[in-house]
Each structure stands twice: as structure tokens, then as C-alpha cells.
Amino acid sequence: MEVFERTFEESVSSFKEMLHNNRMTRFRTEFQALHNYDQAKIFAEFDADERNKVYQYMAPSEVADVFDALEGDDLHLSEEYFLEMENVYAAAVLGEMYADNAVDVLNNIDNREKVSLYMHLMPPKSAREISQLINYLDETAGAIMTTEFVAIQEDYTIKQAYEHLKEAAAQAETIYYVYVIDENKRLKGVLSLRDLIIYDDNRLISELLNPKVISVQVNDDQVEVAKMVQDYDLLALPVVGFDHELLGIITVDDVLDVMQEEADSDYSGLAAVDVNETHDSPFDASKSRLPWLVTLLFLGMGTATLISQFEGLISSAPVLSSFVTLITGTAGNAGTQSLAVAIRKLTNKNEDDEFFSSFSFELLTGVVTGLVVGTTIALVAGIWKGNFFLGLIIGIAMASAIVVANIAGSLIPKLMVKFGFDPAVASGPFISTLSDLTSVFIYFSIARIFISYF
């Protein structure tokens, strides 16, 4: 659909023009008419001078709304943005932003003195909220939660709760759930705004609240958070500390970003490349891709060395060499399949997925697929070369290589998790390069045994 009446480029240049011609009123009217996301996209196109004008034309609270919508690459520029503002202005903007977004920004500012200066200059309340969030581990519930939520005591009536919510509405990031806490801030239950609307004004929260409130621990992995929100169709998920005290909430819009992030990293891992690479030049792109390629190259040297051990065999039966890539390739494909299934099972946290049951599962799957593919190629090669001993060799080698690749594909990610690595880093190229080695060894070893027969 059309977000801009004009194209994006057109709106950008027209806004730039207004800034250059000091058309403040016009700029304010047209810029404020846009959605924050579009404002952020346009703001990212401005140069230093133009941004400076924006800081003069717009109040910190207005700029804060724009920065709340900053995402991904644009976020990495936030250091530059804030350092070019007056300290007081910068602090005010950070104070007006949603605490979780302010933390994202501050995490992108390397100049620590500036950060602490901002923390001093901003309203104490905001500073408190931010410093609470800032020391949570990356990719945990605590890191993505916001502390701006609506909480009430259980002795409230519906009307009181509604009034309380009405006041909070301006501040809170979401007002669609009202959380009920006891005097020690422990999470007792939840009501949806829908409940507040449906029930009579003078009924008591205590008798209406849903005590079966779904919550996560502050240090739970963000993947679990996303899964929870997805499974239970929540708009927000409360985050509790070790004493079950309510620390914050995670809103569904942050969960959407988490899912995107996780999907991209899984996908990138499987292909051994950052699929979100937004490189300006092929050289940058190459720089990010080469490490994997070169690593795998040296891993592949192992296969080359291994093959060279069999040169004698090959020169006495050069026909063998025709099938090397076929066997390594097919085994690599099978390995990639079981790898992908294993990683997905792990990232989707299927706890029921028992180590050895899934091991034997992949083993058997490898045997079945190996037998089918092995028999097929045995016949094809046998007929093609008119030599069924050769066919047999290739078939057996193919089957064994597939079995090994399947097991490797399913085990390696599990082992990585065991040793505290992200299994998604075990990429398809990695597994297929690895299985090249085993496949070649199996192939030529079997061939050497059979060689006497032809």
C-alpha cells in the first residue's frame, strides 16, 4: 500500500528543502502528520546540519517519538545523533523515550562519560527506569522489557482501576492489560482492558482478576518469551524477578522484532553469511563472507589431503574419480537436512526431544534414505559403466556416507549447545564440508577393499 502520497525520495527532498529554507511551521505540520516509523526513516536521511535544524524545530518529546521508532541499522547511528545534540536536549529526549528503547540507544553509545552525564541530566524517574534495565543480559526478557506498565492493588474497584488506567494511559507503553500486585509488588493476577470495560464499575478487582497470569523470569531467553507470546496470543507478557515481583512487561511489538532477529540469525547460520548484510561495496560484503569461506577452505584441505593418499588407487581405476563429487555432494545434502531439522528442534526448544531417541531416529532415517539412494546409484552406475562391482562399491559408499552425514548433522548442533555455543552457527556449508571428509574416506576405503575384484 501507499504510505506516502509522494515517493519516499520525494518526501525526503521536500523536507530537506523546508529545513534549508527555514520553513519551520511547514516542516512541523507536515513532519508531525507522518507516522513515527516514517518520520524515523526520513530522519535517517538527513545530514548533520539538517538534523541540527530538526533539534531546533522540535521538542525533545517529539524527537523522542521519532527515536522510539528507530530500528536496526538506523539505531547504530544513534551515538552520532545524540553526541551532536546539546547535552540537556539529548538527556531530555532519552528521558521522554520508552525506557527499553532508551536503553537500546544508550547501549549504542560508546562514550561512557556522555552516557552518565545524560543519566544525571534526565528526570530521576526515567534515569531509575533506565538503569534498572541497562544491566540485564542481552537477549534476555529483562533486556527487551519496558518498566512502563499499569499495575494496581487488588482492593480496587473496576471504576478505580479504570480511573487509574486513564491517568496512566499517556505514559504506559501498553494499557491493554492491568496487572494486579500485592504490597510487595508480587504479581497476583491480570485483567484485560476488555474486562474493565465489560464489568460493572463497582465490582472488586480481587474477585474478577485472573490469577493464572502467564509470566517469564527476567533472565529467560528472548526466544522463550517470543514462543510464549505467540502460543498464548498475548499483547504483553509480564516479567517477574526471583521473588515473583513484577519488574516489567514485554509488548508484542518487541516480540515481532525478536522473531525477525532470530529467524534471520538461524537463516544466516545455515548459509554461513549474514543475510542482513547491507554492505555499501562488494568489498565490505566480501570481508564479511571471506572468513567462513577461508575457514571452510582449510577444512576442505583435509579432504584434498585424504584424496591424495588414494592417488595410486585412482590412477589404477580412474573411473572412481567420476563419482567422488556425487557421493560427497549427496551426503552433504543429507547432512544439511538433518542439521536443519536438529537446529530448528533446538531453537524451538522442544524439550520433549530426547537426546538418544532423536539420535537413533536420525540414525534410522539415515539408514533408510541411505539404502534407497545407495541402491539407486548402485544400479545407475552399474548399468552406466557396465560394471556392477563398481556399482556395488559406489552404492555401499553412498549409503554409509549418508548415514554418517545424517548422524553428524543431528549430533553437532546438540554438542554445540552442550558446550554453550549457538547451534545455529553450525552452518550447512560447515556440515557438508565436514561430511566431504568422511564420505571420501568411506568411499576410497571401500573401493580399496573391492579393487581386487575388477
Q: Taking CB under 8 A as the criterion, which residues in 410-449 touch a second copy?
A: 428-429, 432-433, 436, 440
Q: Is 128 in the site for a second copy (CB under 8 A)?
A: no
DSSP conformational letter for 222? H
Q: Is 392 in the site for a second copy (CB under 8 A)?
A: no
Q: Is 197 in the site for a second copy (CB under 8 A)?
A: yes
| Sheet containing 246-251: order of strands | 216-217, 236-240, 246-251
Q: Give the one residue of 263, 379, 383, 449 binding a second copy; rule: CB under 8 A.
A: 263
Grid cell in block for residue 409: 548433522
Q: Is 305 in the site for a second copy (CB under 8 A)?
A: yes
Give burial (CB, 10 Å; 0-12/13-18/19+) of 367.
middle
Q: Which residue blocks in 97-144 are alpha helix, DSSP H?
A: 99-107, 112-121, 124-134, 141-144
CB 235 within 8 A of CB 174: yes
Q: Is 24 in the site for a second copy (CB under 8 A)?
A: no
CB of 47 to a second copy, least distance (A): 20
Q: Is 315 in the site for a second copy (CB under 8 A)?
A: yes
CB of 49 to a second copy, least distance (A): 25
* Radius of gyration over every alpha carbon of the chain, rounded to an integer in angstroms: 30
CB 175 within 8 A of CB 145: no
Nearest to 441 by CA among 295, 335, 297, 308: 308
Q: Is 34 in the site for a second copy (CB under 8 A)?
A: yes
CB 247 within 8 A of CB 240: yes
Q: Is 334 in the site for a second copy (CB under 8 A)?
A: yes
Q: Is 176 in the site for a second copy (CB under 8 A)?
A: yes
Q: Give the one residue of 329, 389, 392, 445 binding a second copy; rule: CB under 8 A.
A: 329
Q: Is 208 in the site for a second copy (CB under 8 A)?
A: no
User: Which residues in the 148-167 window bind a second copy by CB under 8 A?
Assistant: 165-166
Rounded Cα distance, 141 and 239, in Å? 7
Q: Give the one residue of 77, 83, 137, 372 binding a second copy; rule: CB under 8 A.
A: 372
Residue 307 to residues 71, 188, 435, 436: CA-CA distances in angstroms? 49, 67, 14, 11
Q: Is 214 in the site for a second copy (CB under 8 A)?
A: yes
Grid cell in block for residue 45: 536521511
Stretch of 101-109, 132-140, 181-189, 370-378 lying at the interface with a second copy (CB under 8 A): 370-378
User: Which residues in the 46-75 window bind a second copy by CB under 8 A?
Assistant: 69, 71
Please give the distance of CA 236 from its chain centroid, rounded to a whole number: 19
CB 171 within 8 A of CB 61: no
Stretch of 45-53, 114-122, 372-380, 445-453 lying at the interface with a second copy (CB under 8 A): 372-380
CB of 85 to a second copy, least distance (A): 23
Q: Is 321 in the site for a second copy (CB under 8 A)?
A: yes
Q: Is 194 in the site for a second copy (CB under 8 A)?
A: yes
Q: Is 183 in the site for a second copy (CB under 8 A)?
A: no
